[in-house]
Amino acid sequence: FCAKDALSRLFARCGRVQSVDICDKPEPGEKKEKLTSKFFNCKTVKGFQVAYVVFRKPAGVQAAKALSREGPLLISTESHPVKTGISKWIASYAASVVDQEELKAEVDAYMQAYDKKIAEEEAKAAKEEGVPDEEGWVKVTRKGRKPGLPRTEAANLRVLEKEKQKRARKELLNFYAWQHRETKREHIAQLRKKFEEDKQRIALMRAQRKFRPY
């Protein structure tokens, strides 16, 4: 219930609030700014949290320390009510519905920045390739076997190569299975042949041992 806007409003009486950061646990030092996304890497924290309120002037810190003498601070008031119960559930559900246009705009902006970064790195690598540094060393960069292909085409080639390897592996396993069945079938045929030969030899031995009184 105690969100950033509520904390900023409560401590505004002490002085102008510059920023409010909510963390899972206390962290030493200044918190580095991170690029946040509305749709990705959104981790919901349950339980108690730690808030850092930063004032524009040092006097705001001194005024905030003296707030304990004035009594408790109210988060929910008539002018700024905090939603609870079913109204809070409805608001949470409405906030969870993704705006497709806004999501597409964020993804497109991210991919444009990523493509620009990759293009700059490739241009820098191509510029430095073959050029010795101050100590005379030449930097060798590793390029793909098929450079210059678009990212989508390269991805398709990787998928096709994986499918080809998977198909070859499956054919090899099928060949081994077929070879195993043929070897087993030949072994069974040899056992049957030997059984018939032994059967005939035993019958011949019994015929030769018939009783002859004269």
The three-state DSSP-derived secondary structure of the chain is CCCHHHHHHHHHHCCCEEEEEEECCCCCCCCCCCCCCCCCCCCCCCCCCEEEEEECCCHHHHHHHHHHHHCCCCCCCCCCCCCCHHHHHHHHHHHHCCCHHHHHHHHHHHHHHHHHHHHHHHHHHHHHCCCECCCCCECCCCCCCCCCCCHHHHHHHHHHHHHHHHHHHHHHHHHHHHHHHHHHHHHHHHHHHHHHHHHHHHHHHHHHCCCCCC
| Cα distances (angstroms) measured from residue 134 to each of 16, 131, 138 | 52, 10, 10
Above 60 in pLDDT, residue 31?
Answer: no
β-bridge partners, 53: 20
**Cα–chain-centroid distance for residue 121?**
24
What is the per-residue pLDDT across 41-90, written as a single tens digit (0 to 9) for each? Answer: 666 667 788 888 899 998 888 888 888 776 777 888 878 887 888 888 88
Is residue 21 within 8 A of residue 51, CB to CB? The reply is yes
Rg (alpha carbons) of the chain, rounded to whole number: 39
For residues 6 and 17, what is the distance between their CA atoms, to the nearest angstrom?
A: 12
Cα dihedral: 202, 204, 206, 210 (round 10): -170
In the predicted model, what is the mean pLDDT of the chain? 77
pLDDT in tens, 120-176: 988 887 776 666 666 666 666 555 444 444 445 566 677 778 888 888 888 777 777
pLDDT in tens, 164-207: 888 888 877 777 777 778 888 888 888 888 888 888 888 887 77
Class in CATH terms, 4-96? alpha beta
Can you give the pLDDT at residue 148?
Answer: 47
Per-residue pLDDT at 182: 82
Which tokens go with 167? 């198909």
Phi (first) and psi of residue 54, to 5 degrees: -110, 125
Residue 135 has what pLDDT? Answer: 65
**The pLDDT of residue 24:** 78
